[in-house]
């Protein structure tokens, strides 16, 4: 875990269940970290030291965040086939994190993945029932870039609104205090006798008697100005840190959206032209799915992996989730995994990795094993896997060691 759970933190807390949505959580963490900065994203309370009160650690970590994102997949309540549900355990970390956020009035945004639906109130313990009243955002694998963009927009708006509220609150309170002092100067309230005597014995006693109040009011005015400058600079910094989309970026996105809308129902040539112009565009996955439906084999993804004893990383799981979702969209298509082993890597690393990847697609994403084909394609500098969608009747993908 990159950050200590015990320290105070002001940012975004990503709450997820590893056995339910670790792949999606890893992908979302990467996107949020790229946009907001890694130091503003908190994920995984797994470094609680021996002897620490884990409830206190969770309360400190969650309570000091501004937003909690609760990622909910199809097995969020309980694992398939398990009799006991995770959320019924009062010491379940996910339950504690969300319950703490709700209790402390942290903004909680449910994010639905894997086509999951929001749990019903009767399915939740009492301390989580309020979660069902929070409006959820769905992030789908096929529309991942667009859905994540929408989530980021909501987060930015929430942070901006909060800073504006804090600024207005400070302004209102300082105006009130300044007004109270001003009234005190002119109220004619009785003063202590020694204060009156001090004034009468000094040629400038009246001025000196008022000076303390005047200095206090002046100091408050200065503090008010400093507070306004501070909160304004913080709002500007927030906008800078969150990468608020510039006019130029908005224009570029609008151009891409217009282009995509003009070709999305067109033929293979038009769709391939879009992919050449926007190889990593917002609608890349949709374009590939559309091409596959038109009978064109497509390279859906290509990833470089480090031999890790067959263990899949969260990022790899996320990309396999995306591949599975696309494969489900194209009826009767075959999913090819063209695997190139590493010249300097461990022997059989490619075979081990590809078998784990296939098993993950079958067990976690319900892909029929008969639709998956693994091809040993020789060696490259690094362990590389190309994920292809090959429509029924189309030729097998090429091999290029």
Q: Are residues 19 and 123 in the same domain?
A: yes
What pLDDT shows up at residue 311? 75
Q: Are residues 123 and 18 in the same domain?
A: yes
Between 249 and 388, residue with greater pLDDT: 388
What pLDDT shows up at residue 15? 93
Q: Are residues 292 and 196 in the same domain?
A: no
Cross-sheet strand order for the sheet of 67-72: 41-43, 12-15, 67-72, 107-112, 137-138
Nearest C-alpha neighbor of 12 from the set 22, 313, 25? 25
The whole domain housing 32 covers: 12-141
- Residue 149: inside a domain: no
- Residue 103: inside a domain: yes
pLDDT at position 114 over 70? yes
> What's this model's pTM, rounded to 2 decimal places?
0.55
Q: Are residues 213 and 252 in the same domain?
A: no
Please tell me the distance from the alpha carbon of residue 397 to that of residue 273, in angstroms, as a whole number: 20
For residue 367, CA distances in Å to 48, 253, 286, 302 come to 37, 34, 19, 19
pLDDT at position 280 over 70? yes
What pLDDT shows up at residue 264? 87
Q: Are residues 45 and 57 in the same domain?
A: yes
Domain count, the chain: 4
Whether 398 contacts 378, CB under 8 Å: no
- Residue 397: inside a domain: no
CATH for 306: 3.30.1330.60
CATH for 37: 3.40.50.10140
Q: How many residues does the chain have?
A: 401
- Residue 202: inside a domain: yes
Between 43 and 328, residue with greater pLDDT: 328
């Amino acid at each position: 875990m990159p950050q200590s759970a015990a320290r105070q933190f002001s940012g975004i807390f990503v709450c997820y269940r590893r056995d339910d949505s670790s792949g999606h959580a890893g992908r979302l963490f990467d996107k949020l970290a790229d946009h907001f900065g890694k130091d503003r994203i908190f994920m995984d309370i797994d470094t609680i030291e021996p002897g620490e009160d884990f409830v206190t650690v969770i309360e400190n970590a969650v309570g000091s965040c501004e937003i909690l994102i609760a990622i909910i997949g199809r097995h969020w309540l309980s694992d398939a086939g398990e009799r006991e549900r995770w959320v019924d355990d009062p010491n379940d970390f996910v339950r504690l994190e969300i319950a703490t956020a709700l209790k402390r009035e942290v903004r909680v945004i449910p994010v639905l993945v894997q086509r999951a639906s929001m749990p019903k109130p009767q399915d939740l313990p009492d301390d989580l029932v309020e979660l069902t009243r929070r409006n959820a955002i769905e992030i789908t694998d096929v529309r991942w870039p667009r859905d994540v963009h929408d989530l980021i927009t909501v987060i930015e708006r929430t942070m901006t609104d909060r800073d504006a509220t804090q600024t207005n609150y400070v302004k209102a309170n300082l105006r009130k205090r300044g007004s109270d002092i001003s009234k005190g100067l002119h109220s004619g309230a009785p003063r202590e006798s020694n204060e009156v005597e001090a004034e009468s014995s000094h040629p400038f006693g009246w001025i000196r008697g008022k000076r303390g109040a005047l200095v206090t009011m002046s100091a408050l005015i200065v503090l008010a100005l400093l507070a306004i400058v501070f909160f304004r600079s913080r709002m500007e910094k927030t906008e800078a840190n969150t990468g608020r989309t510039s006019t130029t970026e908005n224009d570029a996105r609008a151009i891409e959206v217009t282009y995509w809308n003009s070709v999305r129902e067109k033929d293979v040539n038009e769709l391939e032209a879009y992919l050449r112009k926007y190889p990593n565009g917002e609608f890349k996955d949709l374009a590939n799915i559309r091409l596959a439906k038109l009978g064109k084999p497509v390279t859906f993804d290509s990833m470089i992996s480090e031999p890790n004893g067959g263990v899949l990383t969260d990022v790899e799981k996320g990309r396999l989730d995306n591949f599975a979702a696309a494969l489900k969209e194209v009826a009767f298509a075959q999913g090819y995994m063209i695997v190139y082993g590493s010249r300097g890597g461990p022997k059989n690393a490619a075979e081990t990795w590809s078998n784990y990847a296939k098993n993950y697609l079958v067990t976690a994403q319900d892909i029929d094993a008969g639709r998956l084909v693994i091809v040993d394609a020789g060696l490259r500098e690094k362990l590389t896997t190309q994920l292809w969608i090959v429509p029924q009747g189309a030729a097998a993908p090429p091999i290029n060691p």
